[in-house]
Amino acid sequence: MLIHPELLKLTTSAGSASGNTQNLMGICYEILVKPATESTVYDIKITDSSSIVIYERTTETGTLSEIDTLPMKDVYTITISNATEDELFLVKLMLREQ
């Protein structure tokens, strides 16, 4: 079993930012979102290449660490929106490769 961290660094402008992952294949066990400021409120959405939303959280404040089991096989777009601050967000997906 190989654990692979996929890390994106997104900087919001006018409250929004997005970026694409590499082509992923495996089971995502943790989604971690860390804004530069712990008081920042934001929404996060992960969509696949068919524009289907596979994960969404709204009105999150500060660091989000969600443990879940999410099968992934695609290039995904991660979008931060409605952020109360324009700043750097670190988004990390921890995957067990198959």
Give pLDDT tens digits for 43-88: 999 999 999 999 999 999 999 999 989 999 999 999 999 999 999 9
Dihedral, CA of residue 57, residue 25, residue 21 and residue 87, to nearest 10:
40
Q: What is residue 2's predicted lDDT score, i.e. its pLDDT?
A: 85
* Residue 38: strand, helix, or coil: coil
Yes or no: domain 2-97 corresponds to CATH 3.40.50.880: no
d(CA 80, CA 64): 12
Q: What is the pLDDT of residues 28-39, one digit of tens each?
A: 999 999 999 999
CA atoms within 13 A on the CB side of 95: 21
Please report the pLDDT score of residue 68 as a whole number.
86
Mean pLDDT (the chain) is 96
Residues ≥6 apart with Cβ < 8 Å to 34: 63, 64, 89, 90, 91, 92
Domain layout of the chain by residue ranges:
2-97
